[in-house]
Structure 1
Amino acid sequence: MSTSSASARVCSDAEKRLGICPTGSTESGSGVDIGATEQGPGGGSGGSGGGDGAPTDSGQGSGGSGISPGTSAPSTDGSGLGGNPRRIITDLDPCPDCSEADPPADAPAITLSDLASFSPSRPTFRMEPNGWMLRGLPANFIADPRDETTGGTLLGRPIDVRFTPVSYTWTWGDGTADTVTEPGRTWEELRLPRFSETPTSHVYTERGTMTVGLDVAYAVAFRFDGGDWVTVDGSVSAQTTLDAYVGSAQTVLVPGDCRADPVAIGC
């Protein structure tokens, strides 16, 4: 009968450093059971020649006290590794420069009195017939409106002031007046025959020279130092006048066309 035995295995240097060198074996009918112990960094409680204990004549050391993995607190000052890797904590300022920029200067409260040095241009208007009226027939008047923007300085800073026409007051020179919200249009633009009534026409009943006045009211807005447009409460106005003569017309029979021959008999 022959006998067999398992040959002893020599531990490598790496296994010795890791503390997993087999410590013994038992043989059974189906194989070999190999036993080993594992210790954490720093040595365990008694291992074959391991740890930090002094060697004995038998070749076995007493082993080091060891530190169980994960049980020591991390080093915050870098003085040692302990049982875990070193963790360095650095307090970072979450807001290196949290100073806020100075807010833009608020625009001062501005009223119409502050804008007294700004004014719209003098308005103009036309009439038809041009420069004269017939008693008892409508004369048509047309304003020439326009938005206007003027610039300057206020409190030492730039300002733009905008004037927008909103209403038109006509004083007809005969003691009457009308206020409308449209500037008026010519008979041709309205597709009306001459001497037709319009929203800006007027009928005179007396002969003579009339001074017709126009007063335009403007809404006012300003833009201060490059800011947004701001509407000012109230309105400003600008005026103009025009003299026109009111005459009479008579119907007469003439032998020819007075437009073609103004000096003909009866013309």
Structure 2
Amino acid sequence: MPRILSVGGALALLFSMVVPAAAPSYCSTSGWGGNCDVTNTGTSVDIGASHNTPGRGGGDNRGDRDDDIRPPSDGGSGTAPECTGLCRGNYEVELIREVTLTDLASFAPAAPPLTGQPAGVAIVGMPANFVVAASTHTVTGELFDLPVSVRFTPASYLLVHGDGTAREASTGGQTWEALGQAQFSATATSHAYGSRGTFTAHAAVRYSAAVDFGNGWAPVPGVLELSTGGYAVDVLEVRTALVERTCVEDPGGPGC
């Protein structure tokens, strides 16, 4: 609310300004003057922001000079009477209300694929190698036309084999070739099925997240869990037999 004071015969208008509260540490850069709220939903990072525009003086009568303020015309000589105390004229001072804008941006990690070796096939009692291709990556966006980045880092993996078993892993695994291992070798992400059948495996990747508003990375509490799609595995049984010729020599022979 504006107040009118008489100071040495002059009139002064005093305005009370609304100053936004200091933003949390997530938005403490010079470009971010609003308040931000970073929420981990378990599958995405939601960043909500509010920005306050303080009220300000308006109208034609700004009160910055004595001769800008005129009492209403009463049909007299047009000369303003001497002001010996507090003078009130029929003028108005308008205030623009504080405006609050809100915005929301949601950031989710990329869905990781799940593959296996041999491709789509496993042998009873022998390791099948699973690989989850998840990696650290950054997703960018904007709030109030200002840049914001969210970085997702794989923290752990849960491999669900589809036969009622599962295992935790600290890595998404690598192919036998990348590991320099022979086919059907055991790895940190391999699994040996105990019976024949078709099973659908999947994996869940747990990500940690950090957010950057331009002044460095700040961690987001909690983890986000994202599941891969299903991966079908046909588990076969291998039997050996003594034969006279190889399958190349006799394509119609037993087991060929």
Range of TM-score over shorter length: 0.5 to 0.7
1:115 partner amino acid: V
Change in Cα spacing, 1:261 to 1:155, as seen in structure 2 (3 Å) is: farther
Change in Cα spacing, 1:189 to 1:115, as seen in structure 2 (3 Å) is: closer
Q: Are the equivalent residues in 1 in contact too, given 2:114–2:202 (CA < 8 A)?
A: no
Runs (4 or more) in structure 1 with deviation over 4 Å come to: none
User: 3-state DSSP class of the match of 1:235?
Assistant: strand
For the pair shown, which has the larger CA radius of gyration, 1 or 2?
A: 1
Question: Where does residue 239 of structure 2 map in the other structure?
Answer: 250
Residues 99-178 of structure 1 aligned to structure 2 (within 5 Å): 104=30, 105=33, 108-113=36-41, 115-116=45-46, 117-154=106-143, 157-178=146-167
Question: Where does residue 54 of structure 1 map in the other structure?
Answer: none
User: 3-state DSSP class of the match of 1:111?
Assistant: strand
* Residue 200 of structure 2 is aligned to residue 207 of structure 1: no
Distance 1:134 1:162 in 2: 39
CA-CA distance at 1:153 after TM superposition: 2.6
Cα distance per residue 1:10-67 (max 9 Å; x no partner)? xxxxxxxxxxxxxxxxxxxxxxxxxxxxxxxxxxxxxxxxxxxxxxxxxxxxxxxxxx
Cα distance per residue 1:128-179 (max 9 Å; x no partner)? 1110111111111112122221112346643111111111110000111111
Structure 1 segments unaligned to the other structure (5+ residues) = 1-101
2:219 partner amino acid: T
Q: How many residues align?
A: 164
Question: Where does residue 36 of structure 1 map in the other structure?
Answer: none
Question: Where does residue 51 of structure 2 map in the other structure?
Answer: none
* Residue 225 of structure 2 is aligned to residue 237 of structure 1: yes
Question: Where does residue 93 of structure 2 map in the other structure?
Answer: none
Change in Cα spacing, 1:242 to 1:262, as seen in structure 2 (3 Å) is: farther
Give 1 or 2: higher strand fraction: 2
Identity of aligned pairs, percent? 36
Distance 1:192 1:262 in 2: 32
Q: CA RMSD in A?
A: 2.3
